[in-house]
Amino acid sequence: MNTAAAIKAYANTDLESSVLAADPHKLIALLYQGALLAIANARNAMLRKDIPAKGKAISHAMAIIDEGLKASLDKNVGGDLVHNLEALYDYMCARLLAANVNNDVEALDEVARLLGEIKGAWDSIRETALKQQMPVAPPQPVPMNKQPALVYGRR
């Protein structure tokens, strides 16, 4: 196995491990991260004038946005926010399509900026939720002379 193939295999395994270990909130964060990476790849390919790579990267970003982020919206719970996000995701896909057809780097940058702002808000929600779950004071260790003895792995 050559070095490039080994790196790709490692990256795929690392991503698969992240997805399998992630909670639903983290999965959405991974989708945002994947879409941003695909847009960065499309931008680089566009600047290199690598048309096949540009098209593949933009298609990947559009799939993540449409089949991942947009499909994960719960229209029964979110109200106006869900409908606004759905419209924004549709707009992003339209801008990505225009970027592909017109080799428009500015359209890619616009979508990346929008996704980055939403991702930042999404990440702050997670941080707030994690802070609320943390206990006020960490548990205190039990002194050694007060701990029950272990008998075959049981207390």
Which pLDDT tens digits describe the chain residue by residue (155 residues)?
A: 555 454 455 455 554 555 555 678 889 999 999 999 999 999 999 999 999 999 999 999 999 999 999 999 988 887 899 999 999 999 999 999 999 999 999 999 999 999 999 999 999 987 776 676 655 555 555 555 555 554 444 44
Mark whether 77 and 124 lie in a shared domain.
yes
Per the domain annotation, does 39 fall within a domain? no
pLDDT at 25: 86
According to DSSP, the residues that pair with 151 across neighbouring strands are 154
42 falls within a domain? no
Report the domain count for the chain. Answer: 2
80, 116: one domain: yes
pLDDT in the model for residue 78: 78
Query: Are residue 60 and residue 1 in the same domain, yes or no?
Result: no
The two three-digit tokens of residue 132, written as one number: 């609320």
pLDDT computed for residue 150 by the predictor: 47
Strand, coil or helix: 103: coil
Q: Does 20 share its domain with 58?
A: no
CB distance 31 to 18 below 8 Å = no
Can you give the length of the chain in residues? 155
78 plus 123 within the same structural domain: yes
Backbone phi and psi for residue 104, each to the nearest 5 degrees, phi listed first: -100, 100
Domain membership flag for residue 146: no
Residue numbers of the domain that contains 15: 1-30
Assess contact for 70 and 87: CB atoms under 8 A: no
Joined together, the tokens standing for residue 4 give: 């490039």
Residues 108, 86: Cα–Cα separation, whole Å: 19
Q: What is the pLDDT of residue 6?
A: 47
Residue 112 sits in a domain whose CATH number is: 1.20.120.340
Helix ranges restricted to H, the chain: 3-21, 24-48, 51-63, 80-102, 105-133
41 domain residue, yes or no: no
State whether 59 and 114 are in the same domain.
yes
Do 2 and 67 lie in one domain? The reply is no
> Do both 67 and 123 map to the same domain?
yes
Q: What pLDDT was estimated at residue 117?
A: 96
Q: Looking at the domain assignment, is residue 136 inside a domain? A: no
Residues 69 and 23 grouped into a single domain: no
Q: Are 116 and 36 in contact (CB under 8 A)?
A: yes
Hey, what's the torsion of the CAs at 89, 109, 118, 116, to 10 degrees?
Answer: 140
Structure confidence at residue 79 (pLDDT): 86
- Does 17 map to a domain? yes
Q: Is 130 in contact with 51 (CB distance < 8 Å)?
A: no
Q: Is residue 115 part of a domain?
A: yes
How is residue 133 written in tokens?
A: 């779950």
Structural domain contains residue 15: yes
In this structure, are 57 and 24 located in the same domain?
A: no
Which amino acid, one-letter code, is at 84?
A: N
Whether this prediction's pTM lies above 0.85 is answered by no
